[in-house]
Structure 1
Amino acid sequence: MTDKPDILCIGSVLWDVIGRATLHMQRGSDVPGRITRLPGGVALNIAMTLARFGLKPALLSAVGRDSEGDELISDCRGLGLNTDFIYRSDDLPTDRYMAVEGANGLIAAIADAHSLEAAGSKILHPLTDGTLGSADAPFEGPIALDGNLTESLLSEIAEHPGFSDADLRIAPASPGKALRLAPFLRAGRGTLYVNLEEAGLLCQARFASATDAAQALLDRGAARAVVTNGGETCADAGANGLIHACPPKVLVTRITGAGDTFMAAHIAAERDGATAEAALERALTAAAAYVSGDMPT
């Protein structure tokens, strides 16, 4: 692909292995269900959703030169995603994510993104060597980042002049990696997309609502914070004030990837010129369609 990308998606590009059961589960449950393997990872999930909205995303990540990596790259290209800038490692395997979901939600998940972490700043070379940008001519446009990058690399991005003109959109990937977003609080850069639990970890507090959490993130230095809370009220707080909206009520059939869908839909809506209120509504509607199974994977 040679077309200039509309947005860069930086972070995990891997295989999702998801087991889903229609029954309630608990620790030790052994129930019938379905196990699928799909292209996934936060950055890739965001890119796939952006492509459905007509955008041209490019991926910056690390993928092995193993058979799983070759298949993953082929699938990404088949989905209309630009993989030209992905770092292909000869000695690192392609990463994987494994989750188990029941009728009562996510039961457990393990993200094996060790190759992405080991590759480190190598995945950013196109943004520093002049291919997509450099310190003297920074990339201009939106960049979606995920917290599967190490905190040291995220700290570098938060301060790097090569990212100074970018519209940074950042997600932690999971509550366990929420604190990796702290550099963007300290730098006062980017839009943070977090859920209520992740906001609490970043602020070292407990919040009763997304509006309280979004305001607290601003008070701690965030330039802008979008906080979700499952099926409850969502909030968007920034320099232009604080707004909130409620997601549609739907039957939940899947969870993994819902936050990524929300973030991508929100970015796409704002890129189309939607107001903050309209963008939040569109993002909530897209996420609801996803968790109900009405949006394809």
Structure 2
Amino acid sequence: MTEREKEVFDLINSNPLISQEEISEKLKIARSSVAVHISNLMKKGYVLGKGYILKEAPYIAVIGGANIDIEGVPLGVLKMKDSNPGVVNKTFGGVAKNIAENISKLGIDTKLITLVGGDSHGKDLIDYCRKKGIDTSYSTMLERESTSIYISILDEDRDMAVAISHMDIMTKMDIPFIKKRTSVIKGAVLCVVDTNIPLETLEYLLKHFKETKFIVDTVSLEKSKKLKNLLPYIDTLKPNKIEAEILSGIKISTREDTKNAAEIIIKKGVKNIFLSLGKEGVYYSNGTEMGFIETPEITVTTSTGAGDAFLAGVTYGKSERKNIKKQVMYGVSASISVLTNSKIKENDIDIDRINEILKEVKKCNSMKNI
């Protein structure tokens, strides 16, 4: 801890509710410098976030799963029911945690609301998030529970072939848990939630916090079914084609089917939809503005985390009050930044990189009738 960081730490320690502006005045330094010192203290683990409230700082709350990701990649063609030579990577993951980390990397104050076990995995997860500048003070570590683990096997094209998700701990995220976090949810400019949480909790969350704008990640086909009767309470939804079929009730085989499915979901109450079509891009609609956004040709290094990055990009665009087309382009650009990741154990994502990719996305779509 540097001398200046110690001065900031001592002020926070003596008054956990002190604002950045007050610290700036007391130490006679720029408020932007205070923000940097606090970020460093959080990364070093000295400031955990508990009780430290920055009322003037807008933030995004992210609610849902955090887990250990174990990914296996074969060296050749994946052979089912056989042992495949390959590479195994262990990372910190989970839909909510991934989205929270990506949003934080884009320079937005982020509060993660999740559950982890009291095992070494849980402690490592929380420590990792804090070092990344994510506020975990509203998350809980359950001593007698096991931290969620997600195991995925990719094929030779780096697409997921099969996965197993052990997320029993998420059943503990009940309504009383959410009620205790009412103030932080109501105070968020946007709230991202994934469907890993129990149905009754999801229903309470979406129906009770009527003034909160919820961005919902469907997570999987099975878990997306929880949303069938909750669509009127969702501001923004990101389903893939199969999930959209379930929520709309129609089969999607053509572009016209895609438009019709999105229109049905919009009519059911969703304000904005971003329908992921895989390699074919994304269809977006808010009932007034709509269109297809295609992706430029890229060399994919991994498919893991691309969907989470997409939603983080959309969330960034919404927080910057961009129109829906610009939001989807931010989402696609963030997704590409992960799909072409140059790092093995961590998503290579930042706003400068996204803005560079954004130029290619715009160029790819500029000559198309979208």
* TM-score, shorter chain, exceeding 0.5: yes
- Measure the CA separation in 2 of the matches of 1:169 and 1:26: 38
Structure 2 contact 78–156 (Cα < 8 Å) conserved: yes
Contact 2:274 2:328 in 1 (8 A): no
Aligned amino acid, residue 219 of structure 2: A
CA distance in 2, matches of 1:154, 1:22: 40
User: Which has the larger helix fraction?
Assistant: 2
Tell me if the contact between 2:173 and 2:198 (Cα under 8 Å) persists in the aligned partners.
no
Secondary structure of 1:166's counterpart equals coil
Q: Distance in 2 between matches of 1:62 and 1:231?
A: 33
Match of 1:181 among 210, 227, 231: 227
Of residues 69, 72, 86 in structure 2, which corresponds to 1:19? 72
**2:214 equivalent among 168, 171, 175:** 168
Q: CA deviation at 1:140?
A: 4.3
CA contact (8 A) 2:75 2:87 kept: no
**Letter of the structure 2 residue corresponding to residue 192 of structure 1:** L
Contact 2:66/2:94, CA 8 A, preserved across alignment: yes
Select which of 241, 245, 262 maps to 1:200.
245
RMSD, aligned CA: 1.9
**Greater Cα offset, 242-251 or 11-20:** 242-251
Of 252-261 and 199-208, more deviation after overlay is shown by: 199-208
**Which residue of 187, 190, 206 maps to 1:142?**
190
Q: Is the 8 A contact 1:9 1:46 kept in 2?
A: yes
- 2:278 maps to 1:245: no
User: Unmatched 5+ residue regions in structure 1?
Assistant: none
Contact 1:13 1:40 in 2 (8 A): yes
Q: 1:168-212: per-residue Cα shift (whole Å, max 9, x none)?
A: 000111122110122322x34321111111111222321124434
The aligned counterpart of 1:225 is 273
Question: Which consecutive residues of structure 2, in runs of 5 or more, have no partner in the other structure?
Answer: 1-48, 348-370
Distance in 1 (CA, whole Å) between partners of 2:260 and 2:342 is 31
Match of 2:12 in 1: none
Pair 200,181 (structure 1): closer, same or farther in 2 beyond 3 Å: same
C-alpha separation between the residues in 2 aligned to 1:22 and 1:259? 24
What is the letter of the counterpart of residue 229 of structure 1? Answer: L
Indicate if the aligned counterparts of 2:99 and 2:308 stay in contact, CA closer than 8 A: yes
Q: Percent identity?
A: 22
Measured after TM superposition, the shift of residue 238 of structure 1 is: 1.3
State the shift of 1:19 in Å: 1.0
Aligned partner of 1:79 in structure 2 is 132
> How many residues matched?
288
Distance in 2 (CA, whole Å) between partners of 1:255 and 1:29 is 23
Whole-angstrom CA distance in 2 between matches of 1:246 and 1:61: 34
Alignment equivalent of 2:175, drawn from 99, 118, 121: 121
**Higher relative CO (CA 8 A, sep ≥ 6), structure 1 or 2?**
1
Please give the TM-score of this superposition, normalised by the length of structure 2.
0.73
Equivalent residue letter for 2:62 = C
Q: CA deviation at 1:222?
A: 2.3
Q: Give 1:122 deviation, angstroms.
A: 4.5
Q: Relative to 1, partners in 2 of residues 1:294 and 1:276: Cα closer, same or farther, differing over 3 Å?
A: farther
